Amino acid sequence: MTNSVHANVLGVPLPFVGVDGNSVCDKLFDKTGAKASCPLKAGTEYLYKDSFKVLEVYPKIKVWVDWKLRDDKGKTILCFMVPVKITS
């Protein structure tokens, strides 16, 4: 599985450099907090934890971030949008 992480800037989806397209398999945990991995098992709860540095090249603006997890065929498994304010 990989992630798809884009900021919606004036209606244009811009990928977060160094984040978009990365594997999420090393960022999965089971409900007890123990490390999990791919492939996922049906009927199992997982926790996905990720973070990234805000690069100096990112504009200092408010944006909506569209974050998706996709399987190896590109199918979206999970998605959410979150408002973000880049300040430094």
What are 66-78's pLDDT values in tens digits? 999 999 899 999 9
53 pLDDT above the threshold of 90: no
Average pLDDT over residues 22-30: 93
* pLDDT cut 70: percent of the chain above it: 99
pLDDT at position 34? 95
63 pLDDT above the threshold of 80: yes
pTM, whole model, 2 decimals?
Answer: 0.80
pLDDT at position 9? 87
Tell me the two tokens of residue 53. 């540095």
CB-based contacts of 21-25 (< 8 A; 24+ apart in sequence): 24/48, 24/50, 24/69, 25/1
Q: Top-level CATH class of 2-85?
A: mainly beta
Average pLDDT over residues 31-43: 91
